[in-house]
Structure 1
Amino acid sequence: MKNFFRFTERNTSYKQETLAGITTFLSIAYILVVNPLILSQSGMDQGAVFTATALTAIIGTLLIGLLANFPIAIAPSMGLNSFFTFSVCIGMGIEWQVTLTGVFVAGIIFMLLSLMKIREKIINVIPLDLKYAIASGIGFFITFIGLKNGGIVIGNPDTFVSIGDLTSPTTLLAIIGLILTIIMLVRGISGGIFYGMVITTIIGMIAGLIDIPSSIVGSIPSIEPTFGVVFGHLDEIFTPQVLTVIFTFLIVAFFDTAGALIGLTSQAGMMKDNEIPDIGKGLLADSAAGVIGAVLGTSTPATSVESSAGIAVGGKTGFTSVVIAACFVVALFFSPIINVISVEVTSAALIIVGALMAMEIRKINWTKLEIVIPSFLTIIMMPLTSSVAIGIGLGFVLYPICLAAQKRHKEVSPIMYMLCLLFLLYFAFIV
């Protein structure tokens, strides 16, 4: 087992990987509650989506851990499940069965692009400075999510965001968790993020802010209402409206995943010579999970940025992913316990992990304006638009333009020019 996951090469251990896996799982466990709630508003069966969400996470996470040896979780994307429900099903009036079929077709296209190594080639030609910008931008985005989940920052119609009510009991719980976690980390306590979440949960239960589960074991809902539905609606996707939806799923999922993989592997110290070893296998695992998830009955899964929590604890190999998958298996049977993990509990982990990922910003060449402008806008647009893909897209548009303006167009890969044009069309007609 140690040889298979290359423990010695990556300087890790069973204890370190297990702790990392549990930490990532606790950071992403909310998806088991939130994803069914969001997709049920499209008309899908909430219980079936819960089971489909868990099974998709189990299969996808195992695939990326065993095939690519990445310490990463794959689970339904929070952004794409909202797009699925509110933009497509409710906004455009497309039935959830047809929308799910669109997700299935997009997943098939993803698999073909991965097998042809087109996705791998695109990721490898992204300039190194932009890769660092993507990684640090995701860090800012994750921190913003953590601050929002903890109620530390809130929406404001006049200033867009502002400080929240710091006297609110739930916000205080998030702040206490943040302070405790910071103290443990700066004192060098291994697993400080994980221990911080456990202690915060206990404090929340004592203070009556988190419900103590009335039972431990729950029944597993049937997946029958959603399983295999996509195969009965393949003839309904050939309309301009649905084809546009498929294209949007492709663009957003492609670059969300690309950004997450770049950021996470960079954080784990796996990137070498501007390339990520075994990235092709990781992309194939991700795309296969998309097909499997649609068949089971959930919106597009993606590489989870919350994996950064486990990497921060020390996750370096696919064994971390095996542990995450095992936790999701347990969660199928112990859903009452999972339901007590609130967003306030995980907010501290996201805030701190975002700070750790943002450290990549120091590697960007801040002395050259043609690098600074696309890199900075890539970073800042991710938290401001709540979209990794939009941040990446803006960087991809501006980077070739900046170098072409300096008559250095030959330094830019032809693929980057193609991506520049693609994102210009995306911003013009879809966003």
Structure 2
Amino acid sequence: MFEKMFHLKEHGTTVKTEVIAGLTTFLTMAYILAVNPNILGTVMDRSGVFVATALASAIATFIMAFLANYPIALSAGLGLNAYFAYTVCLGELGGEANAFQVALTAVLVEGVIFVLLSALKAREQIINGIPVNLKNGISAGIGLFIAFIGMQNAGVIVANDATIVGLGSFGEAQVCLALIGFLIILILAHYKVPGSVLIGILATWVLGICAEKLGWYHVDAEAGVYSLIPNFSQGLQLGGIRNTAFQFDFGWVAKHMIQFVAITFSFLYVDLFDTVGTVVAVADKADLLDKDGKLPRVGKVLMSDAVGTIAGACLGTSTITSFVESSAGVAAGGRTGLTAATTGLMFLVSLILSPIFLAIPGFATAPALLYVGMLMLSSAKKISFDGDIADVAGAYMAIVMMPLAYSIATGIMFAILTWVIIKVAEGKFRDVSPVMWVVFVLFALRIVTLVTNFM
């Protein structure tokens, strides 16, 4: 059955190898089941987000397995979930009661657009219209942004009246344990231990439980500091999905169309090149690219991502995207969709562990954000700082504005506006693709709305 479905012999693999590879992939990306509820839980029901993340990840990964037959797993993308919670819900929408519903609506629309773009085979053409420097600058900026969020969640970086931000207190268990967890992940990653990020999170959490028992970590529910010990008395805590599933607000969209388009486009833009870059990187590692460096059945791969995003929006989580951690499964021998199917099955199994994942605090997931942020920041080394000043300035604005303005969308907006304006000033109109002109106009309109709001 597996041979007929996944063509194992053709890819030089076996059922055992594929299953082990799928388990390896799951271990390397299971941290998202703890991180995503902590990030989106700032504006949504945490238990609902956990269930939505597990189910949407399973659905999207199964589609990748059976439609595209590739060893690539999907889940809620880091950076995109931070944009969802901190930029859109708490920033642009000011923490309104319906903020997460507006954001979920944007994710749904983004998914529908991606389905259309994938069906029309236009997605890669759009990717090619975006300058390479901007892609790398945005990736690096997102890395700094999610690292900043991680340090905030752990109290490593705190508000300071004199300098805006400052170093947290090392008298707090959260601060010390988060930094220790980061070091654990780095050491495990050095020795190529499978699941190093998940192990780092769990180790930090266990150390936190010890700190709670010793009285160093103080539980104060009124201050939002909860016990780290899992509560199994309430069962699997799966009912929260009722508070997140199909929570859309099209009425708000109709009244704020320009703002909504800007929000949706930011989701679209980041997911656009993030998915293609990840898929190509994993496929290259698995030796799945053809002689021209292209990926066979790429349309089905992108369609899996698009449908997964729609499923995620309907269930109640931010954009679903391909995970570069899939390369760990590939390194373990995974070559077909059976690897992805195994990973998808593990996401379903994880539902019975909901009390454990929901007990993991923000400071325990902070090391994962710091580590992933570090990996994303490495894109900065690909930026050509000796080339056209427009390319340099565009990438620079993305890197600087995302963490400092606390917004991925703002970073993308300033990067693109700067790049187009400088290109025009240089007289290089032909360098600006139709895609970039459309994006420029959208963000220019966004600037106009921001100006009029303050007049």
Distance 1:5 1:417 in 2: 48
Q: Match of 1:174?
A: 178
SS state of the match for residue 73, structure 1? strand
* 1:163 counterpart letter in structure 2: L
Give the 3-state SS of the residue equivalent to 1:158 in structure 2: coil
Q: Which residue number corresponds to residue 287 of structure 1?
A: 306
| C-alpha distance 88-321 of structure 1, shift in aligned 2 (>3 A) | farther
Q: CA deviation at 1:111?
A: 2.9
Q: Is the 8 A contact 1:124 1:275 kept in 2?
A: no
Partner of 2:319: 301
Match of 1:336 among 355, 371, 377: 355
State whether structure 2 residue 215 is matched by structure 1 residue 215: no
The aligned counterpart of 2:414 is: 394
Match of 1:39 in 2: 44
Change in 2 beyond 3 A, CA 1:319/1:340? farther
Q: 1:111 to 1:151 in 2, by over 3 A?
A: same
Residues 67-216 of structure 1 mapped to structure 2, 5 A cutoff: 67=67, 69=70, 70-74=72-76, 77-81=81-85, 104=108, 107-187=111-191, 189=193, 191-208=195-212, 209=217, 211-215=228-232
The partner residue of 2:23 within 18, 24, 30 is: 18
Q: Could you list the per-position Cα deviations for residues 329-365 of structure 1 after superposition, in whole angstroms to 9, with x for gaps in the alignment? A: 2232221111222222222222122222222222211
Residue-by-residue CA offset, 1:372-404 (whole Å, 9 max, x unaligned): 211111122222233333322322222233333
Native 8 Å contact 1:138 1:357 kept in 2: yes
The gaps in structure 1 that reach 5 residues or longer are 41-45
Instruction: Judge which range, 119-128 or 60-69, deviates more.
Output: 60-69
Q: Unaligned regions of 5+ residues in structure 2, if any?
A: 218-226
The reply on whether 1:350 has 2:369 as its aligned counterpart is yes
TM-score (ref. length: structure 2): 0.74
SS of 2:31's equivalent? helix
User: Are residues 1:359 and 2:364 paired?
Assistant: no
Count the aligned residue pairs. Answer: 417
Change (3 A) 1:395 1:3: farther
Q: Judge conservation of contact 2:106–2:264 (CA < 8 Å) in 1.
A: no
Distance in 2 (CA, whole Å) between partners of 1:4 and 1:157 is 61
Residue 60 (structure 2) pairs with residue 60 (structure 1): yes
Q: Distance in 2 between matches of 1:212 and 1:185?
A: 27
The answer to whether the 8 A contact 1:308-1:353 is kept is no
Q: Retained in 1: the 8 A contact 2:18–2:339?
A: no
User: What's the C-alpha RMSD, in Å, of the aligned pairs?
Assistant: 4.2
- Contact conserved, 1:213 with 1:336, CA < 8 A, in 2? yes
Letter in 2 for 1:161: V
